[in-house]
Amino acid sequence: MDTLNLEVVTPSGLIFDGKAVEVTLPGEEGEFGVLPHHASLTTLLKAGVVDIEKEDKSVESIVVNWGVVQVDEKKVVVLVDGAVAIRGESESDIAKALDAAKTLLSDVSDSNLAIASVSAKIESAAHKLV
């Protein structure tokens, strides 16, 4: 199966580095998906969720508050300011990550609508994990 290399970098380090089948990103002008061999592009991201479909079909969600993404045929580099990965071993871990993600979002976005739509998304992502 074709894959692309994905790197998610924050000021405090690399939080995701690996292969992915598909990446969905919250672009400034709307959500878009990236598959392997996507044409080169660089664009801004707004606060939202980055969904990563990995080789084993599992989906990992990372909540970001700002970002720039650089896509070329083989790799995708996402530079973000603050990010929280929705993952964890137990239910309480996931709940903690959810809370952290929500505070991250409420800090950047002042529109309740945006927060609500993203919150709904991350909650559904979290439910899938449980």
Question: Phi-psi region for residue 30, left (φ > 0), alpha (ψ -120 to 50) or beta?
Answer: left
82 lines the binding site for another protein (CB under 8 A): yes
The DSSP bridge pattern shows strands 75-80 and 4-10 to be parallel
Backbone angles phi, psi at 92, to 5 degrees: -70, -35
81 lines the binding site for another protein (CB under 8 A): yes
85 lines the binding site for another protein (CB under 8 A): no
Instruction: Report the C-alpha gap between 71 and 75 in whole angstroms.
Output: 6
Shortest separation between residue 12's beta carbon and another protein, angstroms = 6
Shortest separation between residue 40's beta carbon and another protein, angstroms = 4
Task: Annotate each residue in 92-111 with x if it binds another protein (CB under 8 A) or - if it does not, as one string.
Answer: ---------------x----
DSSP reduced 3-state for 14: strand
11 lines the binding site for another protein (CB under 8 A): yes
Backbone angles phi, psi at 58, to 5 degrees: -75, 150
Question: In the set 33, 35, 37, 42, which binds another protein (CB under 8 A)?
Answer: 42
* Site for another protein, rule CB under 8 A: 7, 9-14, 39-44, 66, 68, 70, 72, 77, 79, 81-82, 107
